[in-house]
Structure 1
Amino acid sequence: MRFGLLSPVVVQLPGSAAPWEADAGAEDLVVVAEHADLLGYHHLTCSEHVGVPPDVAASRGSVYWDPLATLSYLAARTRHIRLVTNVLVLGYHHPLALAKSYGTLDLLSGGRVVLGVGVGSLREEFDLLGASFGERGERADDALRALRVAWGRRRPRYHGHHYTFDDVVVTPCAPREDVSFWVGGRTRRSLRRAVELGEGWMPFGLAPERVRALLGTVEPPAGFDVVLHTGALDPLGDPEATLRAVTETRLAGATMLNASFVHHDREHLLAQLTALTELFPSAGWARTTRAIQEVP
């Protein structure tokens, strides 16, 4: 199983974000991203919300850095770590616009983009953006098919139920004609969407036994990723609990862990990132000689 990082600072959920994150800025985020890159973490993440109603912010939070701007900035400051949207709400975007914007990011980053996508659940935000909430599932399916066709192609063509484009030139485009789609969600339908149209499933808020039960209803293709989150890990303070949590996640079917950590400040978080790699030395960390020299 490989490990990615749920990026701090860029999303601040009530009850989960550390106090220091409220005053953190771009350089704090860069230091964490560079450290994770040197250690060999598979990916880092950034989520999407445009505008959250105040009553909803009490549970979902109100801090959401824009993923395209944030991941583009981090792409310039890192070398190997993948850049994952967790998740883009497909109904907020035309698929050709996503192929252009994130395809450009893929070009700039050397092919490091992974598109985490979802159908969305916040009706007020759909209304704010003039997007269809009732049709969001079928529109998401059509968007995924259109985005697959458009990715990395200078002259894309697609004719679907909701999206159609032809006789158009998209330059620049992604440097490759394949990209991994990790589908978010917590329903059986989200898993089936992931198996049919994507390369991975990235559920949230599900107990391990529920994940196992849902995975038992499908036959994922070879190489299919299941990306799970355990809650905040504390490899420095409680390595035994960290071992149990990661093991439970792996037994639930995870091929990838979205790791978050208990941390009191930036330096504590950096130490926690390092400690996890030492607790799981065989997890496929792509540590470089420079990383070994620089990591405390």
Structure 2
Amino acid sequence: MRVPIGVNSPIVTQVPGAHSPWEVDAGIDDLARIAVAADQLGFDHLTCSEHVAVPVAVADERGGTYWDPLATFGFLAARTERIRLATQVLVLGYHHPLEIAKRYGTLDAISGGRLVLGVGVGSLESEFDLLGASFADRGVRADDSLRALRAVLSSERPEYHGVHHDFSDIVVRPAAMAARVPIWVGGRTGRSLRRAVELGDGWMPFGLGSRRLREMLDITDRRDGFDVVLAAGTVDPMAEPEAAHEAVARMVEAGATIVDITIRASSADHYLEQLEAAAELFETN
């Protein structure tokens, strides 16, 4: 099965019921070992999600552990050579596009052009309130931010004139190394898919079944090279290789051009063994 396979990074995001117990006490050394192995085994990308401050009442459902993507990927970029670094996702409303361009453009430059900027509109209103960000019009603001990001990410002398962001006669250096940094838009609605097609380079949905995904994709015109990044869920390539293979195959059938997997493991060492088995199963090299 020769479709690019990305790895939902363990440790960095710990959602109740979705992470393994060993991840609670794991640290950056464990993550670095996993990242190096994934890089050498030919996996497409690693992920890291963003939440800045999760209210206690919400953490019981969404979790409270979210490593910062920029710091995490800056560390991992120095220890890997090929694997891409995908934010999954940055919440656009929490940041000015120039801040994203400077910080993540620098990451792209120091990693040799390996950034994938996964972005989303956001849904946690209480976190918007904590950060002083506007929630009610977040969709319109996100669209404007995406247009601004496209103008600024790979340009040292960017110019943009939009509804919420307006700038010119500025220098942003270093800019991203890639001539066009891939932008994947997260979400689960038809609007998120349309936003991705219009303003991004890929769609990264969540919480949708394969039949619904296929229906949405079938009625949406997509240009050549547009990526559909679908999650196959948790797989156990050593104990259940057929089930793991079928899970990925279902996502390919639903329209995936890239598939993310979450690997079941009981320890960091077990995770590395599972990663090797997954690489062989999915022919990543």
Question: TM-score band (shorter)?
Answer: over 0.9
Task: Indicate the residue corresponding to 1:168 in structure 2.
Answer: 170
Identity %: 58
1:161-207 CA-partner distances (Å, limit 9, x unpaired): 01001111111211233111100000000000001111100001111
1:59 Cα deviation (Å)?
1.0
1:280 Cα deviation (Å)?
2.3
Task: Indicate the residue corresponding to 2:108 in structure 1.
Answer: 106
Counterparts of 1:22 and 1:66 in 2: how far apart (Å)? 16
Counterparts of 1:176 and 1:268 in 2: how far apart (Å)? 35
CA RMSD in angstroms comes to 0.8
Counterparts of 1:123 and 1:217 in 2: how far apart (Å)? 31
1:236 Cα deviation (Å)?
0.5
Task: Indicate the residue corresponding to 1:155 in structure 2.
Answer: 157
Counterparts of 1:176 and 1:262 in 2: how far apart (Å)? 33
- Equivalent residue for 1:245, pick from 239, 244, 247: 247
Superposed, which structure 2 residues align to 1:70-89 within 5 Å? 70-89=72-91
Counterparts of 2:4 and 2:238 in 1: how far apart (Å)? 19
Counterparts of 2:282 and 2:209 in 1: how far apart (Å)? 23
- Equivalent residue for 1:267, pick from 269, 272, 275: 269
1:276 Cα deviation (Å)?
1.2
- Is 2:167 the counterpart of 1:127? no
1:47-83 CA-partner distances (Å, limit 9, x unpaired): 0000001111111100000001001110011010000
Between stretches 174-183 and 246-255, larger displacement belongs to: 174-183
Counterparts of 1:53 and 1:184 in 2: how far apart (Å)? 22
2:107 is aligned with what amino acid? L
TM-score by length of 2: 0.98
Counterparts of 2:24 and 2:210 in 1: how far apart (Å)? 31
1:25-56 CA-partner distances (Å, limit 9, x unpaired): 11000000000000010100000000001111
Runs of 4+ in 1 over 2 A off after TM superposition: none
Counterparts of 1:17 and 1:204 in 2: how far apart (Å)? 17
Counterparts of 1:159 and 1:177 in 2: how far apart (Å)? 21
Give unpaired runs (5+ residues) of structure 1. 288-296
Give unpaired runs (5+ residues) of structure 2. none
Secondary structure at 1:229 match in 2: strand
1:213 is aligned with what amino acid? E
Secondary structure at 1:4 match in 2: strand
Q: How many residues align?
A: 283
Counterparts of 1:242 and 1:202 in 2: how far apart (Å)? 20
